[in-house]
Structure formats: structure tokens, C-alpha cells
Structure 1
């Protein structure tokens, strides 16, 4: 097999091609595609004319979250249900992150490639943690938070801190309004509050409600109310909205809104990087793997080589190469990598050190350690 970047992860074997998480959908793709999960930056292929494979949960979430797009030629496969596409033997394994999110394991003969997609190793409240595959030649590692300057706080502590802020705000006779991801993050928080504060009234934006319906279809129990003009917001109510200024306007249009009667918070992994100082409360609670979890995952899988992709790929490759003793480089810099011609770890590691030391980006790393 060969691996390359072509507006997505392109695998080639004996002239047969497979594209994972393609980034464009305006034109038809003549080759089969795979979509790892339902977040909009990964679902371009679902509205394309290509033969696309994904999990049942992902297509259900796509259909309600992006109703204006028409999913076509979709084949759904369950976790741990091996199937074939051309010369490729495929298996979806769990990625954590959100409902239906899959890691991809591709095998051809004795060669194996693994793509994490967006993933979370730690078990979350609504989904299990990511699986660790075995006997992998090359892992393509999502590096969304692959910068060692970005650190998440412990998820348990962040949930507790968020709960304390909500209850403290209510004690002040103010209503918390929380901006968060409508797909994944909202369902995590709703389930958490259902378990730890069952008497709390949770009002959600309609964009969150339609996602909740799919989670409940797959046996994730969520108790909440839909926010609209008939909502009766009392002193035991919290409001959840998707992250966008227009959604705060929706709240203003739906209920009597006074800035001195509410506190506004935001929950996003991006707050580990950006201050979001205009909010009354921020939390970096995330369903993505943290920098530390990325390194731990690399060490657990122990592939012959790692290719980093998305987010901070160059920084992550540098860290893995130097701290995990596993050869690593950015996917977009590998041109076309042949699995059966992978060099020994030590040789590849030396090659990668020379690459980093000879590029103009070398100054990025001088203050790392």
C-alpha cells in the first residue's frame, strides 16, 4: 500500500484507490471514500456521488445536522464488522470523541494502516474511549491539539468545576447560558447534569435537540427541554446553545433576557489556547485527545511509523520522534509512502532529525524542552 495526502488521506494498492475523510464535495469522486464521524469538517464525502462508507450513527447525525445536504450512495458498517473495498480489508473500531466516531484499520496482505480520526482515549459519559489497535505498521495520528503548549485540565475536575459554576450562578438567582459544541459536547454535558443534578432544568437550542434525538435512538438517555418562546425559565434552569453569536440572539428572542440576570460561559478545548475573556466562565473540557494523550496513544500502539495530520502535525511529529522513540513525520510531507519499504526505526528517526534540523522551522523547537 501507498499513503499520500490528496485533500484527504489517499491509500493506493495495485492501482486501486481509497480516500478517507476527503475535504471537498463540490465535484464527484470516482473512487470509494470513508467518513470517520459526523462533524462537518469530515463529512464532505457524504454529499458527494462517491460510494461512501461510514457508521450508522454517523449518517443519522449527518442527516439531522446538515439537512440541506443530500447524502448519497452510503453504505453503513458497524464497529468490528470487517468488510472489503477493492483490494482493501477495512474495519471500523471505536474512536470515542462522539457517537458513531470510528478509527479506520486498513489491511492488505501483511501490511496495515491505522487512522485515528478525531479521537478520545478516555471513556466519556456518552461514548466509550478509543480502542487501541494491534499489529499496525503505520498510524496516521490526528494532531488537533498536538502542540505541547496546549494542555487540558483533567476532565473529571473540569466537569466538577463546571458544575460548581452552574450551581453558584443559580444561587445568585441568575441563569447560566453555556456555549458549546452542539454535536458531542452538548450531549456530554446534558448527561452529566442529568446524573449529578437531576432536578436541574436544562433548556437547549433546537440545533442541540435534533442531535439529542439521535443519541437517544442509540440508547443514550437525555432529559432536557427545547428552548422556544413558550419556555418558562426559572431559577433552577440552565441554557445550552451552540457556539455562535446568532444563537445568543435566539435566546434573546425566545425569553425575557436581561444581561444582569444571566452569566455566560463557553466550553471548548480551544480555551486552552485562547482566553475567551469576554465570557464569565471558560472550560477547556474537550472530547479530543489532549497533547499528553496523543503521546500515550503513540506509545501504546507502537507502530513502525507515525504520520501526523491536522491541527499541529509538525509539532506533534517532532515530539513523537524525539520523546517516544517512534519515527514520525507530517503526512503532507511524506509524498507517497510505501508501507512495505518502511526503513528501520533508527534510520527513519535519523532522517527525520535531519529534516527538522535543516528546515527554517527549526526555531520553533528551540524552547520546547
Structure 2
């Protein structure tokens, strides 16, 4: 029997009282199971942290000793038990180490997706489907009119820009995907990287994800017009608002960050509407619980077939 209260929100985040643990808690807790290393899912100062090797490596880079008092590393598909609930990490395709969290309790399988994507990405493990009784899916872009464009076609836009480019992107996940894609689909470009991004790149390489040619930024290099692409985090991108002699572009899948088709690379690391529908088809759940976005469209879409509950 599916337990309607298997997961619930409290002041610390999404809580499983049956196993006494949190999924991607918002405040420090005793037992934290972390889906991936982005800061809105992986905070500092939890007591016990359960995550994949890559997720823990990124957390240690960001937080140092505050990554967690006790760190438990689990490989994909290697089940472990927390408070009587069997846990298994399944690749989510969002970034290196990102995991769907499969929870099995009294014969029922609850699958928390975390953030995930189905688009091909050479810089992380591909998303994999598993069957579950309850699919707890992110619904960041769960709108029928939302369809992410082909990221390859987006990156190929750089080929038509003959001056130097200042390319804004999140430091963890997006920047590395861009480096690899530029090397693959705009190989004549020469890539410069902000110094804060380089240590993250080193973890990617250590984890076996080759990014291709790039080098740390040098001021003198950008003074020459050699089709440089300088990848910077958002705070640096914003500080260069008056930069001259360069094309300013921002890479994002978020609507509120889309400037226009000329000044934006629309590259998302999340599932769009069709991806979510495909995930439901492959997972074959009896129920869908939605998180991190708007779930009402899924509720309407599946109203005659699958029970949909909006957790937030």
C-alpha cells in the first residue's frame, strides 16, 4: 500500500519520517540524502550525508570540512539502508554524480528524481529509467508549451559570431557542458575559463569526463580578436555589462534569464514537458507527486489515468 505521508515538508525540507532522513534538505539535518551537488540541493553542515562520489567531491570543494560530519559514498545501483528504508542511487543525467533516489519500503518503490534531463550530455552519466510505484518528479518546466531546443543547434550559433564572446554560465555543470560542446561543435573557437571554474573542471577530469581544450583567462589574450570564448560565472558576467569589443551571451534554460534569441544560448539541464511525459511512461507509476515547479498541468493531463499530488 502506498503511504500518502511517506514524504512531507517541514521547516527543514522534504522529510521521510519512516526512515528519519531528508532529501536535499534546506537546513542542516542529522541524515541528508543528496541528489546532486548544486547549492539549492546540497547545503553545508549536515551531520550524515549520503551521496555519490562526484557529489561529495563537489561538496568538499565548495564547503571543505562543512560538507558533512560523516560522509557516506554510494555507487549507482548499490543499495544501502537508512532507518529501515532501502535506498538506491540511479543516474539522473543532470550533472556528474546526479542521482534519482529510489526508496523501497514495505514493498513499495518511491522514486525521487531530483533534477534530471534526457538530452544527451557527454559530461555526465545519462539518465536511466526504473520502474516505481510512486514517481516524485521535479516539474520545473512541466508546461505543455515548454519544449527545449536542440542544444547542439544552440551551440552552433557561436560559429556565426566572428568577434570574441563573453559567455555567462553557472560555474558547476553548465560551464563544463559548454566547454565540451564548444570543442565538439565550434572547434575553431578558443576557450578561456574564469579562475573559479577551473577547480571544478579538475574534478570532472578526475571523474573521467574529458572537457577538451581550454585555458585559464588572461587579460592580454582577450585583447586579440582570435574568436576567444571567455566562460564566466553570473556575477562576473553581470560586472562586465559595459564590455566593448565582445559579444555578450548567457547560456541558460530559465525563462527569466532569456534575453532574446540573439543574446542567449537556450541550453537547459532539466526535463521539459515531453521528457517528463516520457519518464512517466517508462516509470509506469501508480501515482505522481510533483516538486520544484508547477504540477497542475500534469494533474490535468493525467486526470483520468494516474493520481497526481502536488507536494509543493
TM-score by length of 1: 0.76
CA deviation map 1:36-70 (0-9, x unaligned)? 000000012xx224211001100111222445954
Against the structure 1 CA distance between its residues 129 and 318, is the aligned structure 2 distance closer, same or farther, given a 3 Å change threshold? farther
Residue number in structure 2 paired with 1:146: 142
Aligned mate of 1:308, from 278, 287, 290: 290
The 5 A counterparts of 1:274-353 are 275-277=258-260, 280-321=262-303, 325-332=305-312
Instruction: Report the Cα distance in structure 2 between the residues aligned to 1:34 and 1:113, rounded to whole angstroms.
Output: 14
SS at match of 1:42: coil
Structure 1 position 316, deviation (Å): 3.4
CA deviation map 1:161-190 (0-9, x unaligned)? 432x322222xxx21111112211111111
Residue number in structure 2 paired with 1:190: 179
Instruction: Report the Cα distance in structure 1 between the residues aligned to 2:100 and 2:46, rounded to whole angstroms.
Output: 23
Structure 1 position 307, deviation (Å): 0.4
Instruction: Report the Cα distance in structure 2 between the residues aligned to 1:122 and 1:50, rounded to whole angstroms.
Output: 34
Structure 1 position 126, deviation (Å): 1.3
Residue number in structure 1 paired with 2:102: 105
Instruction: Report the Cα distance in structure 1 between the residues aligned to 2:201 and 2:137, rounded to whole angstroms.
Output: 29
**How many residues in Structure 1 have an aligned counterpart in Structure 2?**
305
User: Max radius of gyration: which structure?
Assistant: 1
The 5 A counterparts of 1:197-276 are 197-222=186-211, 223-229=213-219, 231=221, 234=224, 235-244=226-235, 246-249=236-239, 259=244, 261-271=245-255, 275-276=258-259
CA deviation map 1:193-214 (0-9, x unaligned)? 2223444210011222121111
SS at match of 2:16: strand
Aligned mate of 2:14, from 4, 9, 20: 9
TM-score by length of 2: 0.89
Structure 1 position 231, deviation (Å): 4.1
SS at match of 2:116: coil
Moved more, 283-292 or 95-104: 283-292
| Two-structure CA RMSD over aligned residues (Å) | 2.3
Structure 1 position 274, deviation (Å): 5.6
Unaligned runs of 5+ in 2: none
Residue number in structure 1 paired with 2:52: 55
Is the 1:146–1:291 Cα contact (8 Å) retained in structure 2?
Answer: yes
Aligned mate of 1:24, from 24, 27, 35: 27
SS at match of 2:250: strand
Q: Which has the higher helix share?
A: 1
SS at match of 2:117: coil
Is the 1:20–1:33 Cα contact (8 Å) retained in structure 2?
Answer: yes
